[in-house]
Amino acid sequence: MIKILIVDDERDVELLFRQKFRKEVRSGLLELAFAFSGDEALKLLDSEHPPQVVYVFSDINMPGMTGLELLNKIKTQFPSICVSMISAYGDTENYKKAMESGAKEFFTKPIDFDSLRKEISRIISQE
């Protein structure tokens, strides 16, 4: 089973991910964790040694710590964790910054769950 962490200040995202990945969670392939800020995400990752999370999906635009700041901190503290960014804006500047900072993938809202599922399947097959 792989554990992924979704970081977004919009709490309705949790329900959406739980619905979209219900089958994978029920079959024991996937465990979902949620954090609603960058700080909360880092605390969660820091609470397990080594972290159980193998993949983080983070929104870019959040109050406090932005997703890009979170990406940099995760890549520094936990280099083995893959991080993909989610943005409501498919703007090239954020895309470029995210990719230069080591993001694995960049998704725009509304999230294309078929692409996301393929990305997660690739990770599951690498574990």
In this structure, what token pair is assigned to residue 119?
């990305």
Q: Starting at the edge strand that comes first in sequence, how are the strands of the sheet with 30-35 ordered? A: 30-35, 2-7, 53-59, 82-87, 105-108
* Domain edges within the chain: 2-126
Q: Which of 81, 31, 84, 85 is nearest to 54 (CA)?
A: 81
2-126: which CATH topology?
Answer: Rossmann fold (3.40.50)
Per-residue DSSP letters for 58-94?
Answer: EES--SSS-HHHHHHHHHHH-TTSEEEEEESS--HHH
Q: What is the CA radius of gyration of the chain?
A: 13
- Give φ, ψ of 104 to 5 degrees: -80, -40
- pTM greater than 0.85 (yes/no): yes
In tens, the pLDDT along 26-68 reads 999 899 999 999 999 999 999 988 889 999 999 999 999 999 9
